Structure 1
């Protein structure tokens, strides 16, 4: 028997069918969708594009499966965080999704940062990766839509609604809004001071709750069996935590997807962390996680790839071939990229800088630098920021004894080498299956459907890893370069603000 996991990412959706006992991948399907941006700061997506992509990906997955849909015991979800879709009374989207990458709520962030009551209620500092400022921006700029909507849904919640007809959310996604009571798992009345009506906020479930089943309409659209149980699922980072076995304090997850993420389980949220790190509800009951993000993690490498691609003859290399070429060139470059540094702040900086004005920068360019140097420098730049995040975590008293590396960027040996040696943790492991979020979604679905009884046993069985050797010389070499890297942002901070003011 099997479990279907739907992973709704920032740029594409992936559907995985796992054998429930071994975690073996039985089949996959995927499809992509565009990001919509023609105004400064705008980053929107059409939720109907998601549904079209998910429907296709599920059918693709089932077509590639040697069995049939009757063998699927449960369906789970992982989804991009923070974004929301306003819904009408008839179950139709009233507007595009305002995604986690949208940066038009700058004024609302600054306004909410001054609200000590909100900070204590939400356990986090308002930022682009929290929903409340986006809610407030949208309410002010599209008041008619906000007033007329029935409710809003996070991205994965919209897809789950398309499959089940049930509008709801769950604790991991709800905890990034700033309006969830972390302990009661209910909406906090602090939202009322901003004119929000709790009746417009969706019902909150646990991640493992079975919230519905595949409807007849959804079965016709996807090929899934009508009546198949559907579990609430979780935010992609909560799923990644489970898919990289970050279930106990001390074991920290580093994942490099479109966005880079650092995840560390904690026993409880702490007001002392506010303003320093993010903290959210874990999918595992009575557990939470500290969280740090690099908005342009894997995105930075994709950006560089697109630049190289634009300089080539059309059709010379497809994307996968070009990525392989970039990795091969980077592998020939010495650690440190011959003193070329890269700040991966293409979409602004989150912690520890919290600077939306920050920009991507190459520092130290010289005639000898080629495509391989730039490719490796981008990987190293992302790894240096992960090191900064870990330093911020340990500075807050969060335990970091072991690192598990996962997701797309870790398919690159060069990137794994940079991450391992720049972070410098002696106990570093590489996940064998790099797609950690869908594995986490499958485990959550399995726990909800009663297929698994213990989180750790399920995670150990489905999310396997190998330990990486510790290279003391490489670690020491990167330590010197890390000190230089830490000098670059402070030197450019005022310049970034000046650049932003040019358009103001």
Structure 2
């Protein structure tokens, strides 16, 4: 009898990851294929959609080589959210896709918000602001700056949904990725006609939207030959990467949190209702479970701050031979020599501006409280704690929506550090666990959703239950008063320094390096 598996494919920003998952939640094989990102102008970030197709083709071929003879029961798709893949009436790509981290459309986002009647009206329509990263502003930018391309525009797809089209011939999306376009009414789980009109496109340009576990198409004959798949395999809706990876960490119940410490930092939770979004400072999307919603806040600076410090320390001569000899493990080991609170030292991680809870591109980072008694270990400890303080600051917004902190599922590169996990446990006062599938990112969650779609698991809660814990860290109750005090001081820094940050962003200081 042939072995069977579910295929999860994640169209990331820098690579495509594919994996095979069995019914017990075990990864049988995984493969990653890298591709480039184009930055043709300042603030632009683009990608050739064909690179996603080639990446998926090569990743699936790699899986076949590693795990021959496995029958694929269903396919789940995940991918970078908010991207605009514009197609003409012949379903050909018009121009390179505009990605989630593209920053060119601030004016268009403001115009869309004004057209619908202001920020309050936008929140009423979608429960989210029209953020610069969202798809709606990218479409408006095309209309204003590339009128010839816009005149050809007939269909708008997110990255994973372009792969779906190439696999099945179907133009479709699902609720979690649609939420990230800025044009989706997340409470009603349907497109918002009012916002679509404000963006200035026809409703027909947006694909039909299904719940994430629904089968949206089947692998066609041409795609079967291209991807090395059997014809007729069902392809489910899947999920946007930031949403579906919470399922891959086993987070489905309200009160369970997921932290992701990568270059940026994410705090996310599941909701059992589309709770109002306070001032639109969080992002509230539809969850991949049909009776759940997804709440998250994104800090622009997390693991990236440690990378910055590593390079800085190496350049100051702390490691002979340069940054390559000063690894992250050595830095974290150094931080372990400093006590909780880093001897009264705080780090603001706003090295690249901030998004949540302070949407301020002019925000600046800094160490606050330096004295002669502080050593390098204290600086690294304060940096690690500052990143977690920023996540707890996001949770302070979530508390206004009634989101508890029962336990944390940690993911991202920062989750590999036992000290950083322990700081999270002590700072939040709850258990912090990692799961075996979390390191696989969106591909793991996409495979779980595929299994729900064909009945391997009856619902998302059952699928989440197969996410086995890999590590567990419990809080030290004696440290909670230290961190509560530290957090109160941290929260006071941004309001006190906001005017200073704006002043330091004056172009008079923007001088080239000597």
Q: TM-score, normalised by structure 2?
A: 0.86
Task: Tell me, yes or no, if the aligned pair for 1:376 and 1:414 is still in contact at 8 Å.
Answer: no
Q: Distance in 2 between matches of 1:140 and 1:314?
A: 50
Establish whether residue 144 from structure 1 lines up as the match of residue 148 from structure 2: yes
Counterpart of 1:59 in structure 2 is 61
Structure 2 partner of 1:416: 421
Deviation at 1:98, TM superposition (A): 2.2
* Superimposed CA distance per residue, residues 233-291 of structure 1 (whole angstroms, 9 cap, x where no aligned partner): 00112212212232222222222244322222222223463424321111111221222
CA distance in 2, matches of 1:404, 1:370: 32
* Aligned position for 1:395: 400
Describe the superposition over 1:324-373 as per-residue Cα deviations: whole angstroms up to 9, x where unpaired: 44444444444444555433334432222121322444545678877765
Higher CA-based Rg? 2
Q: 1:349 aligns with which of 330, 338, 354?
A: 354
Separation of aligned partners in 1, 2:307 and 2:11: 18
1:309 and 1:197 map into 2 onto residues whose CA distance is 54
Whether the aligned pair in 2 keeps the contact of 1:123 and 1:271 (CA below 8 Å) is: yes
Distance in structure 2 (CA, Å) of the matches to 1:194 and 1:383: 37
Distance in 1 of aligned mates of 2:39 and 2:351: 15
Residue by residue over 1:192-245, the C-alpha shift from the partner in whole angstroms, topping out at 9 and shown as x without a partner, is 134221121122122112222333444444333333222120011221221223
Instruction: Check whether the contact 2:251–2:464 (CA below 8 A) recurs between aligned residues.
Output: no
Residues 357 and 231 (structure 1), Cα distance of their counterparts in 2 relative to 1, 3 Å cut:
same
Question: RMSD in angstroms over aligned alpha carbons?
Answer: 3.1
- Quote how far apart the aligned CAs of 1:453 are: 1.4
Could you list the per-position Cα deviations for residues 403-455 of structure 1 after superposition, in whole angstroms to 9, with x for gaps in the alignment? 22233321121221222222223x44332433253332121110112222132
Conserved 8 A contact 2:275-2:401: no
Q: Normalising to structure 1: TM-score of the pair?
A: 0.88
CA distance in 2, matches of 1:301, 1:91: 43
Cα 1:180–1:276 shift into 2, 3 Å = same
Q: Which moved more, 1:201-210 or 1:114-123?
A: 114-123
Question: What does 1:72-91 correspond to in 2, within 5 Å?
Answer: 72-91=72-91
Counterparts in 2 of 1:176 and 1:497: CA distance versus 1, 3 Å: same
Contact 2:129 2:280 survives alignment (8 Å): yes
1:155 and 1:290, CA in 2 relative to 1: closer, same or farther beyond 3 A?
same
**Alpha-carbon distance in structure 2 between the residues aligned to 1:51 and 1:349:** 33
Shift of 1:38: 5.2
> Structure 1 residues 119 and 476, CA, compared in 2 at 3 Å: closer, same or farther?
same
Matched residues, number: 498
The question of 1:479 aligning with 2:484 is answered yes
Give the distance between the partners of 1:304 and 1:53, measured in 2 at CA: 33
Q: Distance in 1 between matches of 2:93 and 2:351?
A: 30
> Structure 2 matches for 1:461-500, cutoff 5 A?
461-464=466-469, 466-500=471-505
Alignment equivalent of 2:458, drawn from 450, 453, 456:
453
Distance 1:227 1:467, change over 3 A: same
C-alpha separation in 2, matches of 1:393 and 1:155:
29
- Encode CA deviations 1:55-98: one digit per residue, 9 max, x unaligned: 22222232222x33x52111112222222221233333222332
Gaps in structure 1 of 5+ consecutive residues = none
Q: Confirm or deny that 1:173 pairs with 2:164.
A: no
